[in-house]
Amino acid sequence: MDTTVLASLVLAGSLLLLLASGVWVALSLLTVGMVMMGLFTTAPMGSLIASTLWDSSWGWALTSLPLFIWMGEILFRSKLSGDMFQGLAPWVSRLPGRLLHVNVLGCGIMAAVAGSSAVTCATIGRISVPELEKRKYPLNMTIGTLAGSGTLGLLIPPSIIMIVYGVTAEVSIARLFIAGVLPGLLLMALFMGYTAIWSLLNPDKMPPAEPPVPFLEKVYRSRRLIPVALLIASVVGSIYGGIATPTEAATIGVIGALILAAVGGGLTRASFMDGLMAAMRTSCMISFIIACAACLTIAVAFVDIPRSLASWVEAMHLSPYALLAVLAVFMLILGCFLEGISIIVLTSSVMLPMVQAAGIDLLWFGIFVVVLIEAAQITPPVGFNLFVLQSITGKDILAVTRAAIPYFFVLMLLLVLITLFPQIVTGLPKMMAG
């Protein structure tokens, strides 16, 4: 048997065995990398692993990661989430679907704050589910809008998973953030569009409309959301305008979040320390995974698996669309069992050379991957948003999955749109470069 094929089988088998046995993802990656180097190369494993771990732990691009996570933790512990429903509800009460749109808009705002899908879904869900149940909105649509819109935490900048992809693929994080803006807004519009169409087709399942609210009253109820929206706009705008790097923009975000939390009365010594420690734990976990994934990438490169796979795919003469379709199915299958960061670090060493060989833009491909990972958040058996909503609503996982299925297909529609019209992704970064 060819050495590369044998190495690939050992890689896949040992990785599946370790992950299935419950070993941490980072330790699984590190162990498999060491096994690969020990069995199939003559390279000095000890010094290579040590230097790779060190080099992967201090990259400048990673400095924005803990800062953005901390910004989200600060705002998450402020009174923002409590004001979300009250501030958004009056603005959507006249649209078809009415208060169901609060889930979409609320998740969009929280996505820009938290950068995490599960946090976004849980935060908005805890507030909106009781409110919508009290007003007799159909529970399946409440769950569906939350399941779908909760995934916006991965696509709307500042996104934690985009930082991980940018570091792994050596793509500008600033350009990735900007590339996610239009697809994120388009996805929100698609979610709201489907919700509106469903409500028009099922008027008997919707509760009666609430009395209209005067414009000034709408503004007054939204007063606490406006500063947060301005903070998010300043963070993303500073990157887009070339005024600040992602790390500098994250620093602005942290300072702004601390000021807003202090002014709003949500900043105490306890909440400050809780947010700081939570951000540290999350950042260390992600950084550990990235560093160990780099060790596996080095081992895989020494064994020559990426080049062999790229040559094999090239010999099949797949068109770029066919290659993307194959990779999409592969990632959706992985998404049934793994979370997003693990998928990126596990597949990057193999997928990225194949994508580059096919002439596909790595910036565009990053958004393509993020949308697929979003879809994976609402696919069983390991769909994190499904688990979050199951715990909030008390419904069984099958009922939650059924409610989320239409929004999975909306995500697939977005995938088709950005594939047919790549300018949706690349347009703003090109303007930014210009």
Terminal-residue alpha carbon distance, the chain:
51
Answer yes or no: is pLDDT of 213 > 90.
no
- Closest to 148 (Cα-Cα) out of 178, 123, 120, 113: 120
Residue 352, φ and ψ in degrees, nearest 5 = -60, -45
Q: Tokens 């979610």 sit at which residue?
A: 191
Whole-number mean pLDDT of the chain? 83
Cis ω before 214 (30° cut-off from 0): no
Question: Would you state the structure tokens that stand for residue 247, as one six-digit string?
Answer: 């790390």
Answer yes or no: is pLDDT of 79 > 80.
no
State how far the Cα of 373 lies from the Cα of 407, in Å rounded to an integer.
14
- Closest to 178 (Cα-Cα) out of 270, 263, 242, 254: 242
In this prediction, residue 423 carries a pLDDT of 94
In this prediction, residue 155 carries a pLDDT of 86
Q: Are 66 and 280 in contact (CB under 8 A)?
A: yes
- What's the distance, CA 234 to chain centroid? 21
Q: How far is CA 232 from CA 29, 64, 126, 168, 252, in A?
A: 35, 15, 23, 25, 10
Q: How far is CA 409 from CA 13, 117, 148, 238, 378, in A?
A: 32, 18, 10, 34, 11
Q: What is the mean pLDDT of residues 110-134?
A: 76
- Closest to 158 (Cα-Cα) out of 184, 124, 125, 191: 184
pLDDT band at 337 (very low <50, low <70, confident <90, very high): low
Question: Would you state the structure tokens that stand for residue 82, as one six-digit string?
Answer: 């409590």
**pLDDT tens digit string along 234-248?**
887 887 777 888 888
Q: What is the pTM of this model?
A: 0.78
Lowest mean pLDDT among 132-141, 295-304, 358-367: 295-304
**pLDDT tens digit string along 80-94?**
656 667 777 788 878
